[in-house]
Amino acid sequence: MDVRYPIGKLQVPEKVTLENIQEWLKEIETYTIRLRETVDSLSDEELSRTYRDGSWTVRQLVHHIADSQLNMYQRLKLALTDENPTVPAFDEEKWAIQPDTKLPVESSIKMLEGINERIVSLGYSLTEEQLDRAFTHQENGKITVATKVAKLAWHEEHHLAHIKIALSK
């Protein structure tokens, strides 16, 4: 197993269906419960563990998940409301070392609860036509709503696996 991609790289079906979307939304819907179960009782030492040399700590990962979901949620909403908007990248490395990432992880879990609730509500209302709406990412090009929902689910699971690897060391 490549610890950088413990659940594998993101794979999106060529033709995403509303059933695919619903499967991904079910993962997102239960994510904060599973994340909280994993990190709730951790000590500072455990929150400082990494899953590989040079990687982010468990604490940084939790804050990164919230930061990233926030950015991806905004991109999803823009794709649904604007005609092919262009969205900026965000420098994940710089975000990961900002002073707010020293806060207790609970602050990011609470944030994720709200963001994920909004993502799930929005996701269950999507139509087949909306799945093809898109935005243009400054660095990664055109990304459809369908692909963004897949990434929202995958990204959380990807980092939960990283956290579990770090805690197993």
Annotated binding site for Zn(2+): 64, 155, 159
Structure tokens at 17: 């269906």
User: Which residues belong to the annotated binding site?
Assistant: 64, 155, 159
Cα 11 from Cα 138, distance rounded (Å):
21
Q: What Cα–Cα distance (Å) separates residue 11 from each residue in 7, 8, 62, 69, 168?
A: 10, 8, 23, 18, 26
Structure tokens at 78: 């823009």
Torsion angle of the four alpha carbons 56, 72, 132, 147, in this order, in degrees rounded to the nearest 10: 20
Q: Measured in whole angstroms, how far is the alpha carbon of residue 147 from the centre of its chain? A: 13
